[in-house]
Structure 1
Amino acid sequence: MKARRMSAGLRPRTGRTIWDSHAGKLVWSTNISAAGSSNNGTVAVISDIGNLVLLRREEDGEVVLWQSMDHPTDTWLPGFRIGLNKLTGEVQTLTAWKNYADPAPGAYSLGIDPNGTSQFFISWNRTTRFWGSGEWNGDIFSGIPEMTSHYIYNFEFVSDANASYFTYSLQDPAVISRLVMDISGQIRQLTWVPSLQQWMLIWTEPHQLCDVHAVCGAFGVCDEKGEPFCSCLSGFRPVSVTDWELGDRTLGCRRNSPLQLQCDDRGTNSDSAQDDAFLLMAGISLPRNPASFAQASSAEEDCRSICMRNCDCSAYAYGSGCALWYGDLLNMQKLSDDTAGGGNNGVFVRMSHATMDGGDAPSKRRKKTIALASSIAAAILALSATVSVVVISYKRRQTNLRQAEAAPEDGNSLLMALKYSDLRRATKNFSKKIGGGSFGSVYKGTLPGGNNCNCNAATIAVKRLEGLLCLGEKQFRNEVRTIGTIHHVNLVRLRGFSSRGSTDRLLVYDYMPNGSLDKALFFGRSTTCRPLLSWRARFQIAVGAARGLLYLHDGCRDRIIHCDVKPENILLDEGMVAKVADFGMAKLVGREFSRVLTTVRGTIGYLAPEWISGVPITAKADVYSYGMVLMEIISGRRNARYCSSEEKGMMMSEYFPLVAARMVSEGEPLVGLLDERLNGDVDERELDRACRVACWCVQDDEADRPTMEQVVQALEGVVAVDVPPIPTSLLAFSDDAGPATSLITGAYHGRFPS
């Protein structure tokens, strides 16, 4: 990209260089003066690094009058500086926008330590520092150890008599990247992804949004897992709903009704005006803005009285002592269920009786409340007795209906909510483990048949979930029920579930007597413990697994990305029909994939390149994993270094997917790729289609990979398959690959037939 020049207009009276719209209105000014009152050879230049420079031509060269890199706003581009000019005292900082629609300076800013140390601080309102990068050690900031995993940036710290500043560059000039001081109070490193036409988040600090100072403003509560993440305390509402909708919550919340205070000159609330009370805000952390502490021996009632008498006291809490907060309450956070205790009994917030739903009300009002509650309780007791009779009758009818239903194969049986104790007995206390996968282990069990029907005992596979404790009970049940409605011949069916709190969660599946594909392919190579899978069986398994993934991607109401396609998650029923398993867990954690991913999910060896590069995941990640599985179905081996005989025309100790891609690309006989145990017993047309499809699926650029619909059509011979190029990432596994070989960017852009 070449630097571009344009004439800059000069305001006639002040000489300040400006930009004018077509309407002739002032839209931007540099606030500098130029000699004379007319255009004197001043030009504006946009450099390759995005720097807007105002130059004046003189006989001995060009003089820089002003440049945008000296005046950063919310964005830090490579080559720009963030630091301190020691001669002029001018500071270059990043300042967030006020909100998403207003570029005026907001509350948060990022700047270098003015005391001269080599670190950054994020500040709130230019006063309160709440995050520091740690000092620069020449490679990384000590407070950001994850910088070691990002090799595309070169940071540099310069400190001399004139200035102290940081700058950074990119190892690959073709990459487009920027660092932004976001209105949320977080700094965010973003990289442009051309194939997706959007920005990708690389890293952010602070990691947790609720660690940002005053992110929800006064009397606001932050919920890291909530949507929206900010809410007001009970009895409060946003100061500006418009600002909240535009992303700026720093103004916080205000009371629905003002306090009824009558204060004397000393700020003491008169006894006659003590019409306010305190409402307990449970389930939230104590405010993190400083509190004063009264004597440790004070009783809770004394603590309340002290706060009541002081007009400036907003809240109190009583634990080992009496803590008092004055003015606004900041940095409160919603506590999770398992941390809601921990010695925190909540904070009592001063409220007006006009908006109180409960709390410390006067005795007369308390008596009225008790009387009303008693009346309601009596009515509820009478109603509950009636409802109990109806519910018991309804449950009996439902049990009879459930027992009288047809066999499970009819596709219409209900998802069962089972008792944890029943499943523990069914699996003999989880004693027979038959496998494991994402988020848990799988055990074999037997459910007894019904007492009032001819139902036979059913063999089941019970998955004991681990690592999903973040899901709430209601959320877990709703999502499991959603998965329970998904039925396809090539998907393992979810029959039931059990949930006992957040630690004991079980999923009940049909038992697959022939186990998983990995056992059928790999475990019998050196023994005769399992029959050898014929080519006909392998090809049908490949087609069946593809159909199952196609249904997840396009056949469900909500697209489901499996995220962990591998032989262990393809099960075989009694007829050797392939059934994709573990797709439920992809749905249960699916909302993570609507955000920018910061962690890799899946299994090494089957991960698409975008997992490694951090690009947001689409269904094409499953296509890549399927391609790797298809190669293993063909070879009967893991996709590791491939050692084979010279007469087969293969390089010794080569990565099998690379060998396959080369042979397909060069038109060599593909029988050499086949599992040698099959002795060449194969339909060569099916083998050719399978090899080509597998090589298309593992292309680096997801735009070059087929959809699962195209995969199924190609395997079935409905469409012809062109010869695919060799994926660039596979070349990194070649013995002669150089260190500059990219594992992420593909150089080929072939076309899969539509």
Structure 2
Amino acid sequence: MILTNHYCTMILLVLICLCIRSFSSLAADIISGNQTLSGNQTVVSSGGNFELGFFTPGASSKYYIGIWYKKVRNQTVVWVANRETPILDRNSAELKISDGNLVLLNVSQAMVWSTDLNSTSSNNSSVVAVLRDDGNLVLRDGSGSNSTSVQPLWESFDNPADTWLPGGRLAYDKRTGKKQLLTSWKNTEDPAPGLFSLELDPNGKQYIIRWNRSQQYWTSGAWDGHTFSLVPEMGLNHFYNFTYVDNENESYFTYSVYNPSITSRFVMDVSGQIKQLFWDNTDWNLIWSQPRQQCEVYAYCGAFGSCNQNSLPFCNCLPGFKHKSESDWVLKDYSGGCVREMKLKCENNGTSTSNGREDKFLMQPYTSLPLHSEAVAVGSIGECESSCLRNCSCTAYAYDENGCTLWNGELLKLQQLAQGYGNGRTIYIRLPASSSVFSGGKNNKGVVIGASFGSAVAVLAILAIVMAVMWRCRRKCVGSSNGLEGSLVAFGYKDLQNATKNFSDKLGGGGFGSIFRGTLPDSTGIAVKKLESISQGEKQFRTEVSTIGTIQHVNLVRLRGFCSEGNKKLLVYDYMENGSLDSHLFQANESKVLEWKTRYEIGLGIARGLSYLHEKCRDCIIHCDIKPENILLDAEFCPKVADFGLAKLVGRDFSRVLTTMRGTRGYLAPEWISGLAITAKADVYSYGMVLFELVSGRRNSEISEVGKVKYFPSLAARVMVDGGDMLDLLDPVLHSNADVEEVLKICKVACWCIQDDENVRPPMGQAVQILEGLMDVSMPSIPRSLQVFVESQEHINLFTDSSSASQSLQTKSNNSSTSSHSNFKTATSPTD
């Protein structure tokens, strides 16, 4: 009997454990009337895409009810119920059905959040909450047999937080005038509604972003049925599809993703930008964001904060000011802005001054001036300053050819611009005369300062000697190591002469100059590029080089340093052990044969590097010279795009590029030749040409034994369209040893990239997604330039050197403009 009781006890304990386990992780996607969700319990959607439960953001100790991706490694919350009323103890809180509503109760059983339905159209006892596999939490009557067809009583898609999921909508209710808002979090650890919100403007069929629900600072532009006029990337049909619905009750946009296997979200970010992102199994990748520049976000840095697009963090306080809340700035919430370190003298006295001695002004040059100014008619800068001093609420003034401008109260939307920026102006910020920013301010402790002065001079003298010795030692090793932003080193010209053995080991050359191999004293291998025809001044050159030096990506060659001594301008890069891609593709060497898998990864890596330059840098960087010679391979054959950012240093001098870069003409997009403005799509065209060469293992354009031009892109396009054997296009040294689907995919992408119309070419981010297998790609149309080539092949003159090309361009320019454009494109596009 004792033994039997023992076994019964064990069985009972097992059953209790199983019940507890079931209770702690609800497997179903439904919360019914007799269930509660508490502690670490969760509800998972039927397909396992989303999960509902309590979460705590970051290092916060507060709990919220939210929905997040179940299959994404980094917890990413897409909806929050109690945004403004967090729970302190999730184990005592309950999410449950009560009186036909989904409610959240705290430890005192007080309701802190509810779906707030007053409808009596359904049986309260049968209401259930269902988490659907699209991320929509739905409250509905669960008594019907076909519950999926029951009209929802309430759904989270109609009450969004900061995230807009595929299938959701942002609507305007014409009956009530209510708008559904996408509202940012307050900061990265607080989901309370922040300052930035996205809403539909029904009158203009467009979306707008507002600051503090009032100030509009961005618009998508009107919807034309396919795209928004100011955001064409939102309407790209290769990735997702936007639809506009307008009826008597409401108007709204909704969108869907063509490939349901892609995890994508649209978020109103804490940065004040709307962002479209997708998950690539390792991290969230940005597809696009608006506004494109962080400093375009209204009052992003708060009162008396200055935004600088070329620095991290973007926000800093003006001199004489400090963060209003250090903890908020740590969490990247700059909205509180800055406050004065010292009060103005007139504020202390309670009256304004008239003699101008109590407060002073600090000059801030190269500034984009704040909003809400007041113009004053005066005749000089002195009168302008006096006008500001007479009013204690006046905090700044500006005086230039535009006249006198005053600002009262808080300064919002200040932006620090680079020197020489066209719209930069000088503003004078009001500070107390005793502020530490003024070196000559009044101080009644003159005796103490005088007593300390001698010691200070001695200390400074010793420091100067030590610095001089260190500087000389440093020059002995690597030259003058004056650091720029980041870890760039300013080398001396003689140091680089020694490192390269007087530039004797030339690795190659191009339109931007020649490059030489070198070795630093610590045996580090470097590649030194001597730039040609650099006309920029010293400060501007250093600014541009500093910007290039901050760009870091696994598929971009790292800039180590630079040299700038008079007209001698050099850049120092890491040395790449496996040289450039052309040496492996076009030179007969069995030891350098690239297997197909390596070629595919190289094509993908190039796309990732260009995508970073085009879409993820603060300013879009257009390379302008993508070709195998500018793709370097490290010891593991990881591709590195070289020479990025140099086009801005040299400028768009097409004639020089054409005449000095042999082999480049075959990679130039039609808009280069026709003289149109160059965009990132010019790099896309060049990338497509490189992809073709990865497949064939030879230059796209070759002369046959009988003197005819063989143009591989035309052949590849024809084989694709006719359904031929794609492996016939493969480099013969690979002996057809390749994945035919990958060969077809690369050729499709290449053909899309070289479309004549740049608007049809995909952005590099899409090329990455296709090659990664996250997107499908349809059969491209054959570009007209390829068709013309095939039709007119016997009439094409193949230029064998750059001078011939230039001469032809000059000759054809004498003809009519239409004829010249067409003939030149036909004659030069297929050639190297």
TM normalised by structure 1 equals 0.60
Structure 2 residue identity aligned to 1:293: A
Question: Which residue is equivalent to 2:99?
Answer: 15
Alignment match of 1:312 (pick from 386, 393, 415): 393
Question: Which residue is equivalent to 2:437?
Answer: 357
Asked if 2 retains the 8 angstrom alpha-carbon contact of 1:565 and 1:606, the reply is yes
Q: Provide structure 1 residue ranges, at least 5 long, that are not aligned to the other structure.
A: 401-413, 448-458, 484-491, 523-532, 554-559, 590-597, 609-624, 645-649, 676-681, 701-725, 735-741, 750-754
Say whether residues 1:187 and 2:274 are aligned partners.
yes
Question: Which residue is equivalent to 2:19?
Answer: none
Question: Which residue is equivalent to 2:629?
Answer: 568
Distance 1:228 1:733, change over 3 A: closer
Alignment match of 1:418 (pick from 469, 485, 493): 493
Q: Secondary structure at the residue paired with 2:388?
A: helix
The CA deviation at 1:220 is 0.6
Counterpart Cα distance in 2 of 1:493 and 1:348: 39
Q: Secondary structure at the residue paired with 1:64?
A: coil
Give matches, 1:23-172, under 5 Å. 28-33=113-118, 35=120, 39-56=124-141, 62=150, 64-113=152-201, 116-149=203-236, 151-172=238-259
Counterpart Cα distance in 1 of 2:102 and 2:704: 66
Question: Which residue is equivalent to 1:289?
Answer: 371
Structure 1 residue identity aligned to 2:298: H
Distance 1:643 1:184, change over 3 A: farther
Q: Secondary structure at the residue paired with 1:472?
A: helix
Q: Secondary structure at the residue paired with 1:305?
A: helix
Counterpart Cα distance in 2 of 1:643 and 1:46: 68
Question: Which residue is equivalent to 1:472?
Answer: 543
Asked if 1 retains the 8 angstrom alpha-carbon contact of 2:196 and 2:272, the reply is yes
The CA deviation at 1:293 is 1.7
The CA deviation at 1:290 is 1.1
For residues 318-376 of structure 1, what are the alpha-carbon distances to aligned partners after superposition, in whole Å with 9 as ceiling and x for unaligned?
A: 2232221111111111211332x8672332233362x43217845x7799999899979
Question: Which residue is equivalent to 1:269?
Answer: 352
Question: Which residue is equivalent to 1:249?
Answer: 334
For residues 467-525 of structure 1, what are the alpha-carbon distances to aligned partners after superposition, in whole Å with 9 as ceiling and x for unaligned?
A: 99786378489889x99xxxxxxxx9999953259x9732479999xx98859976xxx
Distance 1:22 1:368, change over 3 A: closer
Asked if 2 retains the 8 angstrom alpha-carbon contact of 1:72 and 1:93, the reply is yes
Distance 1:395 1:268, change over 3 A: closer
For residues 648-683 of structure 1, what are the alpha-carbon distances to aligned partners after superposition, in whole Å with 9 as ceiling and x for unaligned?
A: xx9x94479999xx9998xxxx9x9776xxxxxx9x
Structure 1 residue identity aligned to 2:543: G
The number of residues matched between the two structures is: 582
Asked if 2 retains the 8 angstrom alpha-carbon contact of 1:232 and 1:253, the reply is yes
The CA deviation at 1:212 is 0.4
Structure 2 residue identity aligned to 1:46: L
Asked if 1 retains the 8 angstrom alpha-carbon contact of 2:307 and 2:315, the reply is yes
Q: Secondary structure at the residue paired with 1:243?
A: helix
Asked if 2 retains the 8 angstrom alpha-carbon contact of 1:415 and 1:495, the reply is no
The CA deviation at 1:262 is 5.0
Asked if 2 retains the 8 angstrom alpha-carbon contact of 1:9 and 1:18, the reply is no
The CA deviation at 1:254 is 0.9
Counterpart Cα distance in 2 of 1:32 and 1:539: 73
Distance 1:541 1:157, change over 3 A: closer
For residues 160-182 of structure 1, what are the alpha-carbon distances to aligned partners after superposition, in whole Å with 9 as ceiling and x for unaligned?
A: 43223222233333333222111
Distance 1:268 1:34, change over 3 A: same
Give matches, 1:689-700, under 5 Å. 692=737, 695=738
Structure 1 residue identity aligned to 2:492: A
Counterpart Cα distance in 2 of 1:153 and 1:467: 45
Counterpart Cα distance in 1 of 2:122 and 2:309: 56
Alignment match of 2:591 (pick from 539, 544, 566): 539
Q: Secondary structure at the residue paired with 2:116?
A: strand
Q: Secondary structure at the residue paired with 1:32?
A: coil
Asked if 2 retains the 8 angstrom alpha-carbon contact of 1:570 and 1:580, the reply is no
For residues 620-668 of structure 1, what are the alpha-carbon distances to aligned partners after superposition, in whole Å with 9 as ceiling and x for unaligned?
A: xxxxx8x9877555xx454999999xxxxx9x94479999xx9998xxx
The CA deviation at 1:464 is 3.9
Asked if 2 retains the 8 angstrom alpha-carbon contact of 1:221 and 1:233, the reply is yes
Counterpart Cα distance in 1 of 2:558 and 2:347: 67
The CA deviation at 1:279 is 3.8
Asked if 2 retains the 8 angstrom alpha-carbon contact of 1:417 and 1:496, the reply is no
Give matches, 1:508-519, under 5 Å. 518=582
Alignment match of 1:462 (pick from 525, 530, 536): 530
Question: Which residue is equivalent to 2:420?
Answer: 338
Question: Which residue is equivalent to 1:327?
Answer: 409
Counterpart Cα distance in 1 of 2:96 and 2:773: 56
Say whether residues 1:505 and 2:557 are aligned partners.
no
Counterpart Cα distance in 2 of 1:312 and 1:185: 29
Counterpart Cα distance in 1 of 2:248 and 2:558: 71
Tell me whether 276-285 or 128-137 shows the greater mean CA deviation: 276-285
Distance 1:386 1:369, change over 3 A: same
Give matches, 1:631-650, under 5 Å. 632-633=696-697, 636-638=698-700
Distance 1:74 1:538, change over 3 A: same
Counterpart Cα distance in 1 of 2:34 and 2:702: 65
The CA deviation at 1:134 is 1.6
Question: Which residue is equivalent to 2:345?
Answer: 260
For residues 285-334 of structure 1, what are the alpha-carbon distances to aligned partners after superposition, in whole Å with 9 as ceiling and x for unaligned?
A: 1432211122131442x322222221211112222322211111111112
Structure 2 residue identity aligned to 1:6: I
Structure 2 residue identity aligned to 1:17: N
Counterpart Cα distance in 2 of 1:212 and 1:565: 33
Distance 1:747 1:519, change over 3 A: closer
For residues 601-634 of structure 1, what are the alpha-carbon distances to aligned partners after superposition, in whole Å with 9 as ceiling and x for unaligned?
A: 97757679xxxxxxxxxxxxxxxx8x9877555x
Q: Structure 1 vs Structure 2: percent identity of aligned residues?
A: 34
Distance 1:70 1:415, change over 3 A: closer
CA RMSD between the two structures: 6.3
Question: Which residue is equivalent to 1:215?
Answer: 300
